[in-house]
Structure 1
Amino acid sequence: MTPRNADILQGCIVECDQPLSIEDLSRLCATEASCIVELVEEGILANEGEAPPVWRFGADAVRRARVALRLQRDLEVNLAGVALALDLLDEIERLRRRLYLGG
């Protein structure tokens, strides 16, 4: 018996300790490398390396870039607003962790 409306999902496991190139990050976020460059220039994404061809990103950059791109696309927030929103979301997460840990 096969379901009529079976969806096939594809995923990619990103290891936390393996750095991502700009090409990897742009592919995982379904965007152009130029968008990633803009996020770095605005200070939204942290990277290592001097120039885009040698930039390396941590696995947390995938989540941060996806949220940033969604804010831009869905809410039409400019890059400065995206940076502020992400900083506030990070602060909320820090405060929740602190509250959860009791101090």
Structure 2
Amino acid sequence: MQAHHLHDFDFHPGESEVRLFTLPRAGVLRADEEAVVHEVRHGDVVLRHYAFAGHWLHINVTTDLSGNLVETGPRAGAPGRGVASAITMGTAR
């Protein structure tokens, strides 16, 4: 059975809680033993998030809708800088 969503736990040093992003499976481009890649549209930009198994590191890339790289500032509800942690698959409840 394929999961309906992806849980992305995001730890930011200096914050007392771990952020949890629940993402629709439709935005998951890769999810295997080596890496997870997902993308989410935020208005006129697309955030693509890369996380790698065995590494406490993630990379976020933002583009416009044509795929050109853009620089963005923090946006409400959008993942920010932090330390990647476990990503788990889950089924809708």
Fold match, TM over 0.5?
no
Query: Who wins on radius of gyration, i.e. which is larger?
Result: 1
User: Which structure has more RCO (C-alpha within 8 Å, separation ≥ 6)?
Assistant: 2
Higher helix share: 1
Task: Give TM-score, length-normalised by structure 2.
Answer: 0.24
The structure in which a higher percent of residues are strand is 2
